[in-house]
Amino acid sequence: MHLQQNISLLPYNTFGIDVQAAYFTELKDINDLEAITELPYEKHILGGGSNILLTQPIKGLVIHNQLKGITVEKEDDNHVWLRVQAGEVWHELVLYAVNTGLGGIENLALIPGTVGASPMQNIGAYGVEAKDTIESVTFWYWNEKRLLTYNNRECEFGYRASIFKEGLKDKVFITSVVYKLSKQPRYNTSYGAIEQELEEMGVKEPSVKAIAYAVMNIRMSKLPDPKVIGNAGSFFKNPTIARTEYEILLEKYPSLPSYKVSDNLVKIPAGWLIEQCGWKGYKIDDMGVHAKQALVLVNYGKAHGKEIWQLSGEILRSVKERFGIELEREVQVW
């Protein structure tokens, strides 16, 4: 274990915010967790840095998860179980799966971040969520100083949520995840513009690889590259409201888009709500709302995290005032 002091986190977050960590270490060997546990600092886990907004210097220890490796845990005629170390880049795992013909996560192509974030955030896109393929999650429990494994049910997955983001938040360090992927995949092309994109690509028979590349094309056309413009992807969650509330809103806003969650619940695209409030393309100083996707807040240069946080608050208030809907931030704030 190599412990560093007063390290800039600018290279470690996709928003491009420059704050310092009092202490910093890269975890490449799981055996170092015992020694790290004994350090008398508040601990912060950093993966790809693609879902955080840094608003102040970090007084404690930032642990950059660099645990690597993909191994076949077991397989049968229909499935392969992959154990993936939490520091692996998520998109690299998707490419590994589609290149070997394994289905289940192709709709999640090009989502930024590391594997460790997939169960914590229950990442999702285009009708698929990480929970659909996660078999189990192994993690280091700081207080008990030991590794534990939870099955899918014990992870308490919800919409962009899990026990790791709520009940066990800041109490554990995810080390690896086992995914159950299919040798005979069922394709999900009904969500978003996937079918249209496949048609434009000239694909007549869908495959996991074709769907993954269709999703990549769609995402690249709508979302800014954090290497060019600082951002953390979708800043807000899509809200779920009661069907009765939705029907009232629909009378006032006939073009209001929605997705059925259940007989009594409806999901509304947060980006549409934000766009209707006039925020899409908004820019002030070095920050703003992306011109092509209102869900994405951006750092055009040297914006401070606190400024971006304040902007997000103004957006929340405007949506609440106009639609009566309370949006939630998806990005984690440090």
The reply to whether 160 belongs to the active site is yes
The reply to whether 146 belongs to the active site is no
* Cβ-based neighbour number of residue 20 at 10 Å: 17
**Closest C-alpha among 122, 108, 71, 123 to residue 192:** 108
* Contacts for 296-301: CB closer than 8 Å, 24+ residues apart: 296/223, 296/224, 296/231, 296/233, 296/234, 296/235, 297/231, 297/232, 297/235, 298/224, 298/229, 298/230, 298/231, 299/15, 299/16, 299/17, 299/229, 299/230, 299/231, 300/229, 300/230
Cα–Cα distance list, 180 to 61, 108, 131, 274 (Å): 34, 15, 10, 36
Q: If you compute the radius of gyration of the chain from its CA atoms, what whole number of angstroms results? A: 20
The reply to whether 330 belongs to the active site is yes
Marked catalytic residue, from 106, 129, 197, 330:
330
Which residue type, as a one-letter code, is found at position 295? L
Marked catalytic residue, from 160, 162, 176, 312:
160
Buried b (16+ CB within 10 A) or exposed e, 104-141: bbbbbbbbbbbbbbbbbbbbbbbebbbbbbbbbbbbbe
Marked catalytic residue, from 118, 162, 234, 312:
234
Q: With 0-12 CB in 10 A as exposed, 13-18 as middle and 19+ as buried, what is 162? A: buried
Write out the two tokens for 294: 């209102």
**Closest C-alpha among 229, 232, 222, 241 to residue 312:** 232
**Closest C-alpha among 71, 87, 82 to residue 28:** 87
Cα–Cα distance list, 189 to 126, 130, 238, 256, 294 (Å): 8, 17, 20, 22, 24
Write out the two tokens for 48: 């790809």
Beta strands 52-53 and 332-333, pairing class = parallel
Q: Write out the catalytic residue numbers.
A: 160, 234, 330
